[in-house]
Chain A
Amino acid sequence: MAGSTPVSATVSAGGAPGVLVTPEARRPPISPWQDAWRRFRKHRLAVVCSGILITMIVAVLVGPLFYRVPIDGIDFSVRLQGPSWDHPLGTDDLGQDLLARILYGGRISLAVGFAAMFVAVFVGVLVGSLAGMAGGKTDAALMWVTDLFLSLPQLPLLLLIIYLFRDALTGVVGPEMGVFILIVTIIGLFNWMQVARLVRAQFFSLREKEFVEAARALGASRFRLVWKHILPNALGPVIVAATIDVAAAIIAESTLSFLGLGFPPDIPTWGRLLFDAKDNLDFAPHWALFPGLAIFLTVLSINFVGDGLRDALDPRRVK
């Protein structure tokens, strides 16, 4: 074609390929993720809280490697002591070191929280997007299931499931892992309904938007529509719901420990530590204070991080 020659001539005449390009375009392209990160950074609290959260996660993951005090070393001579050099966070009524117990318990509590959240989000997004995309009878049926789950009394059902399956499962994978799987599955399976409804609502509004229509007009497959165009735009509220789920799961786990149905009583999850400490609140407040603080900080941080992420991932928000 004729038009092609002069263009290439101009380019080669300039000596370098970029000469004729305007200064704005010369800036390296910003990916959506970089954009999100830019927006996230503007949310100061979210940045601080993600710092706290990361510190917590790192502490419970690598802390026990450096802080090698046993979690269950009984020493009556130092029972119920406040913080000291030997026991930075004090001891409980058996003289067990609280820092070691909180670090160890944090692994379990955080793992339960995040794993249950992933289960809930996975199921929720799956159900929500199926319902949102399919519409019609599938949608109605899936929403009935969602309503059904919402109307089930959670606690009695939890007790029933644990009663039915705990022994079988602990026989296969051991008591700690068995309870972990059970709790994560159960808490996850009881928290997906909000996510599903949110996702479905988002899908209903998004699938009629112009950019989706444009993609459809270009011949994008249904899966591609969902995966590339609708889902990323629906994620904002899901992430916020997910952060609330993490907090709910951590607290649900401690409720179960309260009822004697969670982890074995000698496993110091944060909920269990609080439960053990509650009778001694007035004269050994440190015992309840530190695990309580750990739960509080974690839940709060996760919520703020979720808040920041929602701002960051919402492309319509201009800041």
Chain B
Amino acid sequence: MDENGLRELIGRVKRGTLSRRGFVRRMAAVGFTAPMATQLLAISGVSAQTAPEAVPPYPGTRRGGGGPLRVLYWQAQTLLNPHFAVGTTNQDAARVFYEPLAGWAADGTLHPILAAEIPSVDNGGLAEDGRSVTWKLKRGVKWHDGQDFSADDVVFNWEYGRHPATAGVTSGSYRGVNVVKVDDHTVRVEFERPTPFWADTFVASRGMLIPKHKFQDFVGANSRDAPTNLRPVGTGAYRFVSFTPGDTLRGELNPTYHAENRPFFDTLEIKGGGDAASAARAVLQTGDFDFAWSLRVEDDLLRRLESAGRGVVSYLPTGGIEHIQLNRTDPNVEVNGERAHASTQHPAFRDPAVRQAIALLVDRDSVQRFIYGRGGVATGNFLNQPPRFASPNTRPEFSIEKANEVLDAAGWVRGRDGIRAKDGVRLRFVFQTSVSAPRQRTQAIVKQAALRAGIDIELKSVVGSVFFSADVGNPDTYTKFFADIQMYNTTMPQADPQLFMNQFTSWELSTRENRWQGRNITRWHSDEYDALFRAAEGELDPVRRAAMFIRMNDLVVGSNHIIPLMNQRLVNGHLKNLRPVLSGWENTLWLLRDWHRVA
């Protein structure tokens, strides 16, 4: 589809001959994410009021009366300040009490929460030049302690989040923007340059708002000392009762909640800990809990548990990608005392033939069919977003024969033990990932295939709480990547690829200097990629911007330093009589206020 076709479609939506939903579907067919498509409409002057079908209607006729809601997270929550919420479990825990201005519904449209309406060019919220967005706040919203919610709170969150000494995980959403209070119930977000993706600040998981009157004395260096970090005071449908970090979080109905007849449940309990398989059992088989988060276990098991008839498993498309990384740097050499220093090159992976061979040795179809099942879709793209956004240019292939040919042609000769070597470099790699049944199965499948191509792989599994921790002292974290190969899932919490794709830019390299907080874990980079990324940041034309991201994806995948495996789906389990409102673009508990039970 070219620019003219696009403009014509937008025109039809404006005239009312094409529904918004129909437009989004058509855009998906040519490779736009639903959120991008709706933003496109907004920029083009079609108001982006929430489509009625975006969120299922809430049938409740009175507040409360629903009894307890028991939710199980096999990864326990540890803190309750959204600005410090590393990982989705902590974000979810904070989301129970704190709310953003708007969230992403399952179809990628914005759903107002603390905003009175979604900004658009029509309602004057969105500037035509893409340089500012004005949010109108909902009136009559009260914090749990009875104080009024106002524009001052919103502006305060910007000041709090962007303060360098606060060192919050939300800082990316608050830096580079300016926030102005227009009146008590209106704020304006101003951008340095035209910004195609305007709905980041104050939206969704990184946009949760904390009260100024509780946090104003704790901005910057002492931000971690605020007592409210562990005793949240928010605007959410449930208010805080008690919290044991790493174990249980309790809440109760908020009688002054700003949306009528909500919430449904009287009390809320979020229990943390255990593992995915036992969580699945606790909901699907024994019914001890109403809802279990992220049932990342083999699909066979879920099917069998579902057949017990108590609960169901729900699947939601996400941008999350389970992928294999081949280290660009050498983890076995120290430069200035730093392993995998950015200036080094991996002795084997610097040969493109070796990387290509490994990519050929990954049997995605078997992994999908026998391990992930309904939980993932085999893919050759890193950037997948809804089905068709994927680059059409990648051709993933599994062929041991071809891998052998490639290695033979590149001069890697089999030794007496059958392992290939060249110039004293043996094809012997350490392959690490977290402890998780599907991942260990996938490791075994890759190892088997590699052995038949003369590559010896040593498998290593690191317990998840270490592998995914930000612990600077531990060498086994994925951000350090002190191994040759590793595998994990990168989530895409936002419905736009801009932040997702920054993980291959040269300024995001994960090094000792930034305490391995950089997002570029393989430390692969290229000038062309950097330039494309910079250009896409300011590109207002959605078609050209999409083409740029497709090219970025092709560069990354083409290097074979990144070998995509599965486009993950969100897998949750719940009792048959529970009606959770979920979205693949959001935290699991993003619309907890609408959850209810049916008879």
A residues at B contact (CB < 8 Å): 72-74, 76, 79-80, 93-94, 163, 167, 175, 259-261, 264-266, 276, 278-280, 282-283
Contact = CB atoms under 8 A, between A and B. Distances in A.
A266 B437 CA distance: 12
B370 A265 contact: no
B445 A279 contact: no
A220 B461 CA distance: 57
Given A266-B443, A266-B459, A276-B437, A76 B298 contact: no
Contacts of A175: 458
B458 A72 contact: no
A280 B301 contact: yes
29 contacts: A72-B444, A72-B448, A74-B444, A74-B445, A74-B448, A76-B366, A76-B370, A79-B370, A94-B370, A94-B445, A163-B474, A259-B435, A260-B461, A260-B462, A260-B463, A261-B463, A264-B459, A264-B461, A265-B435, A265-B443, A266-B447, A266-B459, A278-B277, A279-B297, A279-B298, A280-B301, A282-B304, A283-B300, A283-B304
B332 to A, nearest CB: 9
Contacts of B445: 74, 94
A73 B444 CA distance: 10
A267 B444 CA distance: 10
Contacts of A283: 300, 304
The 7 closest A-B pairs by CB, nearest first: A260-B435, A279-B277, A265-B461, A260-B461, A260-B463, A264-B459, A265-B440
Interface of B: 277, 297-298, 300-301, 304, 366, 369-370, 435, 437, 440-441, 443-445, 447-448, 458-463, 474-475
Given A266-B444, A276-B440, A279-B437, 15 more contacts: A72-B448, A74-B444, A93-B298, A93-B300, A94-B445, A175-B458, A260-B461, A260-B462, A261-B463, A264-B459, A265-B435, A265-B443, A266-B443, A266-B447, A279-B301
A279 B435 CA distance: 14
A280 B298 CA distance: 10
A265 B304 CA distance: 25
Contacts of A260: 435, 461-463
Nearest to B449: A74
A280 B459 CA distance: 22
Contacts of B435: 259-260, 265
B448 A93 contact: no
A91 to B, nearest CB: 12
Given A72-B448, A260-B435, A279-B298, A93 B441 contact: yes
A282 B448 CA distance: 28
B440 A93 contact: no
A114 to B, nearest CB: 26
Contacts of B475: 167
A166 to B, nearest CB: 10
Contacts, number: 59
Nearest to B482: A167
A283 B298 CA distance: 13
Contacts of B459: 264-266
A72 B297 CA distance: 21
Contacts of B461: 260, 264-265
A259 B443 contact: no
B300 to A, nearest CB: 7
Contacts of B369: 76
A256 to B, nearest CB: 11
A23 to B, nearest CB: 67
A259 B440 contact: no
A259 B434 CA distance: 11
B304 to A, nearest CB: 5
Contacts of B463: 259-261
Contacts of B301: 279-280
Contacts of A265: 435, 440, 443-444, 459-461
A259 B447 CA distance: 21
A181 B94 CA distance: 46
Nearest to B439: A265
Contacts of A278: 277
Contacts of A76: 366, 369-370
A138 B475 CA distance: 41
Contacts of B440: 265-266, 276
Contacts of A72: 444, 447-448
A74 B369 CA distance: 14
A73 B366 CA distance: 14
A161 to B, nearest CB: 15
B472 to A, nearest CB: 14
B304 A264 contact: no
Nearest to A261: B463
Nearest to B466: A260
A264 B366 contact: no
Nearest to A284: B300
A159 to B, nearest CB: 9
Nearest to A259: B463
A167 B366 CA distance: 32
A73 B474 CA distance: 34
A169 to B, nearest CB: 14
A219 to B, nearest CB: 60
A79 B447 CA distance: 18
A282 B445 CA distance: 24
A267 B335 CA distance: 33
A276 B436 CA distance: 10
Contacts of B443: 265-266
A76 B365 CA distance: 12
A228 to B, nearest CB: 49
B51 to A, nearest CB: 40
A80 B447 CA distance: 20
A81 B56 CA distance: 43
Contacts of A279: 277, 297-298, 301, 437
A85 to B, nearest CB: 24
Nearest to A171: B332
A171 to B, nearest CB: 9
Nearest to A70: B448
A167 B460 CA distance: 12
Given A76-B370, A279-B277, A282-B304, A264 B444 contact: no
Contacts of A261: 463
Q: Which of A76, A265, A283 has the largest number of chain B CB atoms within 10 A?
A: A265
Central interface residue in A74, A163, A280, by most chain B CB within 10 Å = A74
A94 B277 CA distance: 18
A264 B441 contact: no
